Structure 1
Amino acid sequence: MSTTQNLLVELFVEELPPKALKKLGESFAQLIETALRAQGLVAEGAVATSFASPRRLGLHLTQVLEQAPEKALRIKLMPVAVGLAADGQPSPALLKKLAASGLAADTPLERALDGKAEALFANTVQPGASLAQGLQQALDEMLKALPIPKVMSYQLADGWSNVHFVRPAHSLIALHGDTVVPVSLLGLQSGRHTQGHRFEAAEPRLEIEHADHYAEALRTRGAVIASFVERRAELQRQLQAAGAKLGLKPIDDEALLDEVTALVERPNVLHCQFEKEFLEVPQECLILTMKANQKYFPLLDVSKGNEGKLTQHFLVVSNIAPADASAVIQGNERVVRPRLADAKFFYDQDRKKKLADRVPGLAKVVYHGKLGSQGERAERVRAIAHAIVNQLRMATVPYTVEARDEFEVLDSKVQQAAQLAKADLLTDMVGEFPELQGIMGGYYARHEGLRDGVAIAIEDHYKPRFAGDALPRNHTGTVLALADKLETLVGLFGIGQLPSGDKDPFALRRHALGVIRILMEKNLPLSLPALVQAGVAAFPDGMLTHATVQDDLLHFAYERLTGALRDQGYSAQEVDAVIALRPTQWGDIPKRLAAVRAFAALPEAPALAAANKRVGNILKKSEEAPVALNAALLQEAAEQQLAAALQAATAQADPLFEQGDFTGSLRALAALKAPVDAFFDAVMVNAEDLAVRANRLALLRSLQQAMNRVAELARLAQ
């Protein structure tokens, strides 16, 4: 039996792109491991560890075999009638097939049925691949499948050959225990040597004696933490410790943490600070410039009343650890100062011009070649927002004088916020940092003394910007955010820019999920079809060229809603039962789902769901025109009892439904189980008397309507 040893593979390269390093490291290790396992070269219970630092990709894999075990193969050759001549000797076709399969002409053959005809089979043993063969194949497959963001072409040392990889590679390690596995990759032959830290390694060239010594050798002699996971954890530990020492908290940013981990081989966190005068600039600007441009970690106040407030302190992550770090600290402080000064300059300059004075300039900013300018877009958002306020007004019962005044004030605020919401696109700050659009508009609105509700709405109208983001904080912002997302969805659907597959260049799925969250979590009494219709009405005639924009957008929205609800933990049956009715007011959907879940837990639920499904099937097959229920035609006792029970149950369930008590409404229908069971046991629906048949169908139709007001309960049937 082949012996097992642990395997090490390392590809040493020039500095890898930091934003791609984590994925490259994981894929490098996974692809090689998967290929080796497929060849039978990895024992059960083997453990893989990936390595990824700025200058290396690696894999440590335990229990790797020197030679894969043999495999018994049964090869189908051809039908007996083709393979054997009349005298039973192999035909030329069979001999050719045997040779092509690497089998001798006298290989014993087996005759067996293959379908209706008899065929010839050869039973043979395939020798297992050696580790050198298997690893070479794994490396070749890895190279083809590695998710490289942008491929480089570079020349090898021979001066003639070109290879393609993410960065030039300089050495390859392949060790099985302490033995070098002879493989090649990117013009490199495998060996046992690598390099450590550019400046702090104890030795310029490290010899790895055994596969299991790799990580420790790099750590002690190479000054490198090779594991991405370990290096990230060490970085996070140092950041927390440095912040705690100052009584402050480093900003939470997983993407920044990953990127900085990919920039250093051994992190060394240092404390720096900038002048307090820069804190007059909105902290979002300072935080963004420090994170995006310098990869620094701003420190936030954690004291009561100041939680989350930016301080003048920040942390930098150095790739070197000198005995005296003052020069590194001063250098970083000197570098960040011009960035913060630029932000302060932009902020001061922007405040010299009012948002309203910038609005005319939006007419010169192209939004989309087929949808006009940002100025035209702002007017469409205003129109949609006005329609939303009107829909809210119409849904308010009772509509009092006080309610009328509140809606007039709301409409005034919404119109002002909609007019100014895009004006910050023309500011220097947003020009430098597009991520701050909306946020800066809110700051500038407050500076101008605009109503706080308007300023908050301007700041919040892009929310939610991503999954888990906060919703708009006030009514004005909620209406404006809905209008903005609807304008985007209707406009782009209207010119045929629908998402397809994994392509969604305009983030329409995110916009749809934003609409879903606002309608549901704010519990707004708004009809989605009416909202879409208001969105379509805001566009000039002829601009929307996609003929089925409303139907396509509603279908898209319900698909997103279905996925979002399942992601929240509702079962497919629960979601399908509610969505099957295509509810127009999405604010009710959480209550409908809760009612369905409560109903499904009742002992009567399975029988009623099955009965509902049966009723639906009967009604689908019936060809009779619908008629009103006639009590005089109820002949059988079971149908009379069902009609009476249905009347009593709906008398209790309907008022609860109108009050929004969906759980109580469905619970009231549980009393129908016994009379429904009795009806199907004793009554023949398709009676010969056509009037009686139509009347029984009318009874079932009334039953179905009563049971399906909250959800289509047949969807709960197994």
Structure 2
Amino acid sequence: KEVLIATMQDNQKYFPVTNEKKELMPLFICVSNIESNNLELIKKGNERVIRPRLSDAVFFWEWDLKYGLKNHRQSLKEVVYQKDLGTLYDKSERLVKTLSLIGEKINLDIDSAKTAAALCLCDLLTKMVSEFPKLQGTMGRYYAKAEGENNDIAIALEELYQPRFAGDKLPKTLPGQCLAISEKIDSLIGIFSIGKAPTGDKDPFALRRSAIGLLRIIIECEIDIDLKDLLSTAASTFSNKNQSLNCINDVYTFLMERLRHYYRDEGFSADVFESVFAINISRPLDFHHRLVAVAEFRKLSEAKSLAAANKRISNLLKKSEEIGSIKIKDDLLVEKSEIKLARRLEDYKKIIAPMIDNHNYKSALTELAGLRKVIDNFFDNVMVICDEPDLKKNRLALLSNLNSLFLETADISKLQD
């Protein structure tokens, strides 16, 4: 189907016709730029022109099937991917290694994944893809199935290129998702390592699109993987490890900026993003859960007061000298408001801990909203920066513990009115 459509659209600029079930029909629509009294003649002329094109497509298909997809793998050694990054074969070998290492961390059939990585670039050398480049991946799927590869491997060869553009569909299978992640992270590390990162409006290797695609797959397909670990894994597969390992921080920063743009387009406000970004979460899926929780939290009536209190706490801690021990000393709690806050703090630590462990950040923040009144009473009745050094340090330790409890989810002091 895809080959027939490509033949009609790319070679002849014809419109293929499908029925209500989206099945391709033996029809096409063409546009004529002349008026004719004999439309049948125009019809026959266009049919005559497309027949040899379709015959060519049949020839490509049959030749590729006869030659075999696997037989192209060694030929990848002769095709330069990028002069400083080696050949397509080198890239496919890196993908095999990266995918193997990823597979150890998640529930992935490593043998199938390695086979998919080894074959994923082979269809680039087929006659069909040489004629119709946009069918890369698609033809890999057909040829892999024709050679008897299992369905997961065949589908992964096509899903390697997804998403192809903004808003495009994402890979549906886990092997396809992991293969697409591996390819995109390999491109990012490779291009950054040779000093060709995007600058301004220049992005010749479409790394911004790759970055957004990578993040969308991880978040929307719910793959819980650490971005820094992923970058280190990919960087370790390059022959020049010094260059590849040295660019990890730059690629990570680039990806987090793309993540900022992704969430802006999804309708999240900048301050909500900053509240999670501030606590250095490197697992995009975990980042997403926290972001959604903060967006829901700010709708609560307590949010404004708690955000202001956290700003005040943060400023006090920044301006104060070393607190020393962050352990709260009960014998130095003298005011009723600080005694109550300390007790409630210990209670909430026990309540919040299992929620954080289960990534239930929305419930955690909803629970923490219950501290609003006791925190307000503390600031209304207790002088934190007092003249007695021990009391002052103990109160700062109390606030440091409170601040850490909120930071288990996000830095809500970043929220704006």
The answer to whether the superposition gives a TM-score over 0.5 is yes
The Cα shift of 1:324 comes to 2.7
The Cα shift of 1:588 comes to 2.5
- d(CA) in 1 for partners of 2:76 and 2:244? 26
- d(CA) in 2 for partners of 1:435 and 1:580? 41
Tell me whether 1:465 sits opposite 2:164 in the alignment. Answer: yes
- Corresponding residue SS for 1:352: helix
The Cα shift of 1:468 comes to 1.4
Change (3 A) 1:666 1:327: same
Q: Give aligned-pair identity as a percent.
A: 40
- d(CA) in 2 for partners of 1:423 and 1:417? 10
Which of residues 374, 399, 402 is equivalent to 2:88?
Answer: 374
Aligned position for 2:384: 685
State how 1:346-357 maps to structure 2 within 5 Å. 346-357=60-71
Does the Cα contact within 8 Å between 2:140 and 2:157 map onto a contact in 1? yes
Which of residues 303, 311, 314 is equivalent to 2:25?
Answer: 311
1:292 aligned partner, one-letter code: D
Does the Cα contact within 8 Å between 2:341 and 2:378 map onto a contact in 1? yes
Tell me whether 1:538 sits opposite 2:237 in the alignment. Answer: yes
Does the Cα contact within 8 Å between 1:611 and 1:676 map onto a contact in 2? yes
2:101 aligned partner, one-letter code: A
Aligned position for 1:290: 8
Aligned position for 2:308: 610
The Cα shift of 1:454 comes to 0.6
Tell me whether 1:489 sits opposite 2:207 in the alignment. Answer: no
- d(CA) in 2 for partners of 1:417 and 1:687? 66
Aligned position for 1:323: 37
Output the TM-score relative to the length of structure 2. 0.96
1:380 aligned partner, one-letter code: R
- d(CA) in 1 for partners of 2:157 and 2:15? 28
Does the Cα contact within 8 Å between 2:16 and 2:29 map onto a contact in 1? yes
Aligned position for 1:435: 134
The Cα shift of 1:445 comes to 0.3
Does the Cα contact within 8 Å between 2:238 and 2:244 map onto a contact in 1? no
Which of residues 328, 336, 340 is equivalent to 1:637?
Answer: 336
Which of residues 563, 574, 582 is equivalent to 2:280?
Answer: 582
Structure with the larger RCO, 1 or 2 (CA within 8 Å, 6+ apart): 2
Does the Cα contact within 8 Å between 2:323 and 2:397 map onto a contact in 1? no
- d(CA) in 2 for partners of 1:546 and 1:501? 22
- d(CA) in 1 for partners of 2:168 and 2:324? 49
State how 1:319-718 maps to structure 2 within 5 Å. 319-392=33-106, 407=108, 410-542=109-241, 545=243, 548-627=246-325, 628-718=327-417
- d(CA) in 1 for partners of 2:131 and 2:41? 30
- Corresponding residue SS for 1:367: strand
- d(CA) in 2 for partners of 1:578 and 1:322? 66
- d(CA) in 1 for partners of 2:290 and 2:85? 38
Q: Tell me the matched-pair count.
A: 416
The Cα shift of 1:673 comes to 0.6
The Cα shift of 1:448 comes to 0.7
- Corresponding residue SS for 1:532: helix
Does the Cα contact within 8 Å between 1:522 and 1:587 map onto a contact in 2? no
Q: Unaligned stretches of 5+ in structure 1? A: 1-282, 394-406
The Cα shift of 1:562 comes to 0.7
State how 1:85-164 maps to structure 2 within 5 Å. none
Aligned position for 1:166: none
Higher helix share: 2
- d(CA) in 1 for partners of 2:324 and 2:196? 42
The Cα shift of 1:293 comes to 2.3
Deviations 1:636-685 (A, max 9, x none): 21111111122222222221121121111100001111111111112122
Larger radius of gyration: 1
- d(CA) in 2 for partners of 1:344 and 1:527? 45
State how 1:3-14 maps to structure 2 within 5 Å. none
1:539 aligned partner, one-letter code: F
1:571 aligned partner, one-letter code: S
The Cα shift of 1:319 comes to 2.2
- Corresponding residue SS for 1:392: coil
- Corresponding residue SS for 2:106: helix
- d(CA) in 2 for partners of 1:376 and 1:341? 35
Segment of structure 1 superposing worse, 590-599 or 365-374: 590-599
- d(CA) in 2 for partners of 1:519 and 1:694? 43
- d(CA) in 1 for partners of 2:409 and 2:52? 61
The Cα shift of 1:563 comes to 0.5
Higher strand share: 1
The Cα shift of 1:523 comes to 1.1
- d(CA) in 1 for partners of 2:101 and 2:167? 28
The Cα shift of 1:390 comes to 1.4
Does the Cα contact within 8 Å between 1:523 and 1:588 map onto a contact in 2? no
The Cα shift of 1:625 comes to 4.2
State how 1:192-271 maps to structure 2 within 5 Å. none
2:173 aligned partner, one-letter code: N
